[in-house]
Amino acid sequence: MKVKVVTRILEANERIAADNRRIFDDSGVYVINLMSAPGAGKTSLLERTIKELNKKLKVAVIEGDIAGTQDAERIGSLGVPVIQINTGGACHLDANMINEVLGELPLKEIELLFIENVGNLVCPAEFNIGEDMKMMLLSITEGDDKPLKYPLMFQESSALILNKIDLLQHTNVSIDKIKKDAMSLSPSIKIFEISCRTGEGISEWTDWLVKKVK
């Protein structure tokens, strides 16, 4: 006997992601899923961004890490609501992990929620968590071959921030190659060049962000 199924295999995650999205929309929260390799500077970007926004937007952060609370402590010291998720080994956040902590956030008082995914260029791109936008941070010291080596993450991202631009002179990296390859994977991707260390390019990024959220 043949039984028709026609069900997406990751349907359970998609269903919870859609629930999350409804909750965010009802509360008027814009949600960004921030992805990168370990050490690209996700938490530094959030620190810079929160300071630069200087309360122009009411921000909160969910930190995803395999272990530890260092990131949440850094963000918490800036006076914004923060929740640390420890995945205990899982290499990405999924919709259910987000769903479980939503009750701990003052959603009605938040305009922008950053979800800092686990540092990894592969798996986070596979799982929707209910975000409005996926974005990616690539530190230029990782090399200009990354878009073509990890295509899905670039394909899924609406914005790409190139960090550590202050180190460009010490590398053989071609920014043009990164941009060209990223745009061939995601033609409408918005690209920013910044340095979280020197502050270069931060205001261009936050100006764009404010317009996107408001």
Q: Which residues bind other proteins (CB under 8 A)?
A: 1-12, 122-123, 126, 148, 151-152, 155, 181, 183-185, 187
Instruction: Encode burial over 157-190: b for 16+ CB neighbours within 10 A, e otherwise.
Output: bebbbbbbbbebeeeebeeeebbebbeebbeebe
CB of 125 vs other proteins, minimal distance in Å: 8
Token pair belonging to 108? 């009605």
Looking at the Cβ atoms of 2 and 55, the one nearer to other proteins is 2
CB of 123 vs other proteins, minimal distance in Å: 6
Cβ distance 95 to 130 under 8 Å? Answer: yes
Looking at the Cβ atoms of 180 and 214, the one nearer to other proteins is 180
Q: Quote the CA–CA distance of 195 and 137 in Å, as a whole number.
A: 11
Q: Quote the CA–CA distance of 118 and 24 in Å, as a whole number.
A: 21
CB of 183 vs other proteins, minimal distance in Å: 7
Looking at the Cβ atoms of 12 and 78, the one nearer to other proteins is 12
CB of 147 vs other proteins, minimal distance in Å: 9
Q: Quote the CA–CA distance of 206 and 184 in Å, as a whole number.
A: 25
Token pair belonging to 175? 């920014």
CB of 170 vs other proteins, minimal distance in Å: 29
Looking at the Cβ atoms of 4 and 108, the one nearer to other proteins is 4
Looking at the Cβ atoms of 90 and 167, the one nearer to other proteins is 90
